[in-house]
Chains A and B, each alone.
Chain A
Amino acid sequence: MKRSVIYFAAGFLACLGSLVLLSRVGIIHNKLLDAMTGYESTTVKLVSDLPSPNLQYVATTNKVGNGTGWCEVRINVHKKDEVFDWEHDFVCITGCDTKLDLKWEDEKHLTVSYSAGDVAKGVHTYQQFRSKDSLVSIAYLLEP
């Protein structure tokens, strides 16, 4: 009885192992396995930290993405030394090919200039006009 279970499990695991192996070497693409093995795990890369003139606030730009090709840029405006959650706290989201230029006009006004990486494709942006504490005003400017 015990041996039969071992052989059964061996067959089951051999099949699972083959599928994982084929998925990892890229011969087959399997979303379920990607999710199970963490292949889809998201990476967050700091692009820039831009402090306000009085150093009270910081505009942080992060590039986030995963192995499936998803890639976006998220901007957060937060108080100096304040810890924030990149996933839920943001004032702007756009694609990784968008050209961005951030500039503090003064202590409470940030301007985000943006333009499409490919003019033919256009640019998609999610914009919030105030920081989480509402004290910083954010203006967005599409560059021609």
Chain B
Amino acid sequence: MGRRIRYFLAGIFSFVVIYGCVWLLGFLLEKGFDSGFKGSDIIMVANTVSPNHGFIASTYVNSGGGGAGWCEKMVNLRKSEEPFDSKKRLVFSSDCQSDVEVIWKGDDTAMIKYSTDGMRADLFQRSLSDDKAVRVFYQTK
């Protein structure tokens, strides 16, 4: 009877060990990828201020991850007194090769013109700023 229980417990233990090893391996791999892609480089391309100087649209390049990483051209739209933060107030993103231009059509209206390669585009677009004070329109170049 005691032996049977011991073999039974050994089976349970073996499963727990195997499962634990697989889980640990996955966890370590995930952490490794995370740290590899963590850092990003931000290069400012242009700052375009609204006519009344109330808002500012910053066009910048966000890249990272090395050869297999990412590269995007982004537009951040915020109040002029607010400091730039690449993780906030995003209204537009496209691939790096895209030519992006912000034109203010008024104090509360911005136009983002962007180019594509004519084959495809990967876009993120918002029609309003975070505080809903600025309307954003889009046009391809």
- Contact assessment for B124 and A8 in the assembled complex, using a CB-CB cutoff below 8 Å: no
With beta carbons under 8 angstroms apart, the residue of B10, B12, B19, B127 that contacts A14 is: B12
A120–chain B nearest beta-carbon distance, Å: 7
24 A-B Cβ contacts within 8 A? A3-B7, A8-B8, A8-B10, A8-B11, A12-B14, A12-B15, A14-B8, A14-B12, A116-B125, A119-B127, A120-B130, A120-B132, A122-B127, A123-B126, A125-B121, A126-B123, A127-B122, A127-B123, A128-B119, A128-B120, A129-B121, A140-B121, A142-B127, A144-B135
With beta carbons under 8 angstroms apart, the residue of B14, B22, B91, B127 that contacts A8 is: B14
- Contact assessment for B7 and A4 in the assembled complex, using a CB-CB cutoff below 8 Å: yes
- Contact assessment for A129 and B118 in the assembled complex, using a CB-CB cutoff below 8 Å: yes
Most B CB within 10 A of own CB, among A14, A15, A119, A125: A15
Q: Which residues of B contact A (CB under 8 A)?
A: 3-5, 7-16, 19, 22-23, 26, 90-91, 116, 118-128, 130, 132, 135, 137-138
A residues 113-144 near B (Cβ < 8 Å) are: 115-116, 119-130, 140, 142, 144
- Contact assessment for B8 and A7 in the assembled complex, using a CB-CB cutoff below 8 Å: yes
Q: Mark A1-31, 1 if CB is under 8 A from B, else 0.
A: 0011101111111111001000000000000
B91 to chain A: closest residue by CB: A122
Q: Mark A44-60, 1 if CB is under 8 A from B, else 0.
A: 00000000000000000
A77–chain B nearest beta-carbon distance, Å: 14
- Contact assessment for B127 and A11 in the assembled complex, using a CB-CB cutoff below 8 Å: no
A140 to chain B: closest residue by CB: B121
With beta carbons under 8 angstroms apart, the residue of B90, B127, B138 that contacts A116 is: B127
With beta carbons under 8 angstroms apart, the residue of A13, A123, A126 that contacts B125 is: A123
A32 interfacial by beta-carbon distance below 8 Å: yes
Report the bound CA distance from A125 to B140 in whole Å: 15
Write out the residue numbers on chain B whose beta carbons fall within 8 Å of the beta carbon of A12. Answer: 11-12, 14-15
- Contact assessment for A122 and B124 in the assembled complex, using a CB-CB cutoff below 8 Å: yes
A120 to chain B: closest residue by CB: B128
Pick the 3 closest A-B CB pairs, nearest first.
Answer: A11-B11, A122-B126, A7-B7
Write out the residue numbers on chain B whose beta carbons fall within 8 Å of the beta carbon of A15. Answer: 11-12, 15-16
Given contacts A32-B26, A129-B116, contact A7 B124 (CB under 8 A): no
Report the bound CA distance from A120 to B19 in whole Å: 42
Given contacts A116-B127, A127-B121, A144-B127, contact A11 B15 (CB under 8 A): yes
B120 to chain A: closest residue by CB: A128
With beta carbons under 8 angstroms apart, the residue of B8, B22, B23, B124 that contacts A11 is: B8
Write out the residue numbers on chain A whose beta carbons fall within 8 Å of the beta carbon of B12. Answer: 11-12, 14-15
